[in-house]
Amino acid sequence: MTSLSPSSAVAADAPHSSRRWWTLAVVALAQLMVVLDATVVNIALPSAQADLGFSNADRQWVVTAYSLAFGSLLLLGGRLGDLVGRKRMFLIGLVGFAVASALGGAAQSFGLLVAARALQGVFGAMLAPTALAVLTTTFTIPKERARAFGVFGALAGAGGAVGLLLGGVLTQNFDWRWNLYINDVIAVVAFVGAIFLVPTLTRVGPRPKLDVPGTVLVSAALFGLVFGFSNAESDGWDSPATWGFLAGAAVLLVVFVLWQRRAAHPLLPLAILRDRNRAAAYSSVMIAAVGMFGVFLFVTYYVQTTLGYSPIQTGLAFLPMIAMLVLAAQLGTNLFVPRFGPKVLVPIGMVLAASGMVLLTRLGVDSAYAPDLVVPLMMIGAAMGTIMPASMQTATLGVDRRYAGVAGALVNTSQQVGGSIGTALLNTLAATAVTDYLVGRDAVTAQVAAEAAVRGYATAYWWGAGFFAGGAVLAAIVFRRRGQGLALHTAHPAPEAAREVPEPVGV
């Protein structure tokens, strides 16, 4: 049983120091492609619906097919990267995602479009955790690691908003199909860069085995979780299918945990989750995703239906938020996290996000973009730039290199599950508020309908503020004080664990 110590890890990476930042560029580009694809298609849906002729009821499956495949296979994708090689899995993910995107862009039927989106989710589940694992094992020097995770965390937080902007530009100026074809352009650039810049690690010793029962259990559980929340969004919380899938997911997760405690080759070594800092980091990513997806969803509705913005104007409306997110991510990871630690920074970000959500509740039918909307958006952007990089860096810090892929997958899983919860729960609460507002009104004029919609958005923002406030308390309690560091390795090493050594950069 051997594994690279922190000092040997640094030494192993040293020969590639001149290439590390180019590696970051490649990995960040791939991550941006995966994250923005969760929202870039949303703006194109009306055009795709008109072109392919599918119904409003079927429209949600273009989004849901991606999230179901992506969310349910993330842990498997992360573990496969650990087992068969991260560079190999990264390249496979890029090629598969590009092929799926091309199929979706060329789709002439609704069925083929949905199938292509599901296939995107499958390869995205291979790509996203592997990208984070490559970053984790490439940047081992604390100062460089902080800077790299600042860039990566900013993209993870801003990718949804970038998707809205890009989707508006492509749909309005070109064709809805380019919202899928654009991935091929990004994937080709990232693939070429990965061949020459991402180092290949050669395994010395026997290859670890895949935990097949654990993989089946957790994939089925995550599928049920994501599908249950997606079904709640479309059919409501009183739907038997909603609670059936959620209850089934809960049972499967319990069985999965029990199996991991006795499995000889666990898919998810539970020691990763036993560390307080990592548990707090995963929870913070999930809570941030709940609120962030709510912002994207309801602010998009508000500016398009209430303020009458075009798709491009809608995307541009989020630019100040993106700018603040990137600025806060760089300042946080380079200056504040090393000095104060996540126990201080993450709660501050949560409080700032909650404050921004409260300001959003004051929006009315006649509100102006500046300052009524732009100020809270900038506050939430700064909050996300404070929460996400610090949480992502902490979530993977000190994890044994053999489990870097599954640790990265947990980050993406937390974000995906949080997004599913946020979209379904907040959308349901908003719809209920709209219904309550309209009860007893004899005539529903355009003005009354607009006021009802704004009332629904405000309800969602209040709940989002509550989630962030709860996240602030949780982070302040669970994160360790600075100086009480993470264990350098997980406490559950596989008995046949193999040592990895870097080869010269290339295939």
CA pair distance 140, 58, nearest whole angstrom: 46
Tokens linked to 62: 């273009």
For CA atoms 209, 89, 389, 410, the dihedral sign is negative
CA pair distance 368, 298, nearest whole angstrom: 16
The model carries a pTM of: 0.78
Task: Tell me the three-class secondary structure of 251-269, residue by residue.
Answer: HHHHHHHHHHHHCCCCCCC
Tokens linked to 87: 């560079």
- Quick one: pLDDT at residue 9? 37
- Quick one: pLDDT at residue 330? 83
CA pair distance 454, 298, nearest whole angstrom: 9
- CB burial string 221-257: b at 16+ within 10 A, e below: bbbbbbbbbbbbbbeeeeeeebeebbebbeebbebbb
CA geometry: angle 10, 16, 19, nearest 5 deg: 130
Listing DSSP states for 386-429 in one string gives HHHHHHHHHHHTT--GGGHHHHHHHHHHHHHHHHHHHHHHHHHH
- Quick one: pLDDT at residue 502? 41
- Quick one: pLDDT at residue 113? 93
CA pair distance 394, 310, nearest whole angstrom: 39
- Quick one: pLDDT at residue 10? 38
CA pair distance 119, 99, nearest whole angstrom: 9
* Residue ranges of the chain whose pLDDT lies below 50: 1-15, 485-507
Q: What is the DSSP letter of 210?
A: P
Residue recorded with tokens 């790299």: 148
- Quick one: pLDDT at residue 68? 83
User: What domains can you pick out in the chain, each with its CATH number?
Assistant: 6-210+265-502 (1.20.1250.20), 211-264 (no CATH)
- Quick one: pLDDT at residue 431? 84
For residue 65, give the 3-state DSSP assignment.
helix
